Structure 1
Amino acid sequence: MGQQRQKSNIEAYLETKRKLLSARPTPHDALARSTEQGVYLIDIRPTSNRKEEGLIPGAIVIDRNVLEWRLDRTSPWSILEAREPSFTPILFCNEGYASSLAAQTLVEIGVERATDVDGGFRKWKDDGLPVVGEDSL
C-alpha cells in the first residue's frame, strides 16, 4: 500500500481558509450568477496570463496587489460596484488557489459575500465558457 503524502503547510492553510468562504461556484454557476444584481466576476490574474490565455467577457480586471483597496466599500479607492449594497465579487485566478486566499482576505475586511471560482480561469476555459482571445486584446 502506498503511503499518503502529507499536506504541505500552504495546502493545509488553503483548505482552512476555503472553509470560511461561502460556497465556491463552478465556472458554469459563476457565469449564471454573473447576471444577478450586484454579482461581479473579478479577474485577478497577472497581465501576462490575461494576454496569453484571454479574458472572460464582462469580468472586471483588478491587479491582486490593489484588490482589497478596490473592493472595500469604505476605501476611498474602491470601485463603484463595491459600494452597491448587494455587492458579491466572484474572484478568479489561473486555477483557483490564489483567488481563494484573496477572497478570504476580502471576507476578513468586511466583503462578506466574496468567493472564488472553483478551478479558476483554466477550468472556465476547459469547460468551453466564453473567452475573448489574445488576438482581440
Structure 2
Amino acid sequence: ECLKFLKEVQAGGSQNLSGQSFHQSGGVLNLFTETTATFLKVLKSHTDLVTSGQVSEELEKLHISIIDSNPSLQNSSTTDSSASNGFPKDVEDEANNIFQDMFHDKIPVPNVVQRLIRFKESSVKR
C-alpha cells in the first residue's frame, strides 16, 4: 500500500484516497510531496522486514525516481529529520508510531494522510 501511495504521488495523484477521480489542488499535492520523504525514510529504514527482493528493488527505483524529480527532497531523505526540523521528541515519537502502525497494516495509508492533513491545518503548532 505504501509503494502504491508513493507511486500515485510520483504520477501526480490522478485519484483521491477513496479511489474516485478528482483534480488535486496544489495544497493537497504539496502535502503528499512533503510526506513522501518521510514515507521513503521509514520504508528504507525497515527494508530488513521486506522479504520480497522485487519489492525492495521497486522501493529503491521509486526512491531514486522521486528524488530525481523532486530535488528539494534530496536533503530531507538523507538527513535525520529530528535534527533538520527541530521537532520535539514527543512529536517525533508520535510520528514514528503512526508510521510503524501504517507499515504493519494496523492503520490504512489514507487514514495516515488524513491525519497528516489535520495536523498541518491545526491551530496547535508543535
Give the TM-score normalised by the residue count of structure 1.
0.29
Give the greater-gyration-radius structure (CA).
1
Q: In proportion to residue count, which structure has more helix? A: 2
Q: In proportion to residue count, which structure has more strand? A: 1
Higher relative contact order (CA 8 A, sep 6+): 1
Give the TM-score normalised by the residue count of structure 2.
0.31
